[in-house]
Structure 1
């Protein structure tokens, strides 16, 4: 991400960083917490369960928006929240009976990751006048520092003994998935309508679920499938509802 900023010759507006300092710190903490609990979720449950739990974040934003952002909660949004909660209950309940307590822990960690992600979206609403690319670089940098200390205090220097065979994959995740991925995302946002962005954001969970079933051969019950449809469908419906207004959310 730093290389992208240098290539585009963007300068960090330190005066804006100073005025938004507290929110930037909280957003970095939220991003780091999001990653910690999401990857922790992957260790205990399937990619599908973790992804669906993670995408409970928009529901949390809808619930908190009237309090934090003073936004009106319409009847349609209330119905979407209710439907999403039913979907999550179906996923959690079936996961516990079909797979066991370990999967329940993974889903729980996924929901905590969703809380951090929702916090990131809400905090970003209070950050003003900053370019999306610069904001993302600062948030990623803050999260990287926090994650370094987290790994150091939880694992010690064990992370230095990562096998050589894993290094290319780590580099791939860092450079392609994070750096180039965010760059393409924000570049595309500037040329797409709000409706297109909202629709394309749901490619992420659908691809994750598809890979989980086809490539990883992970199991998913019929009830969980229905719960996932209710969860993703309700949050998507809520997004479509808000497309008539300018999209100001910055998701990093």
Structure 2
């Protein structure tokens, strides 16, 4: 996969899947603008990136804010001179609850980050990709962007929205050399997973045909494939990285 000197934005890069993808791209020699809310996590990320061959920049930003997404895109233009792709990964969930018991502020916050953050990210990344004449965007949805789960209506809604937005945008830009796809991971060993499960790596084993959760690198491999030219005829797709959950 030829990523040397290619230019990418990765959101939610402070931890988990975003961090793993950003560092993998840097190991391949890419230029990566890493975006996250926490400046402290950004400092740790830059330390990890320091010894890698690619060029790393961190920018603290809240992707639920369209003005922040615009500034991120402009930062990529100024630093890299353009853009070749993006991984819109930022997202979260906080609790399990039936919808009538879910706090309004949690619904608003999750929809703002998980769904609006992807829409605003694409909106401001796409002009740079159009100028470039080609590019690839990968959006992080979820297994729960393809199937429902009880007590997570607010989160499921956000992730189904990401799938729909990905497919619609892929059609909009299919003739412009721009491919837009989504990954739909099952349970993945990340700090967010640990927060929800209390660190129980086996909580979801019985619901996964492979009877284990994924490691971040297993998701990263799928993201890098979709960002690369090896997937040059793939757009508007949802790639499940779920240990067989969608097949069950």
Do the two structures share a fold, i.e. TM-score over 0.5? no
TM-score, structure 1 length as denominator?
Answer: 0.29
Q: Higher helix proportion, which one?
A: 1
* Bigger relative CO (Cα 8 Å, ≥ 6 apart): 1
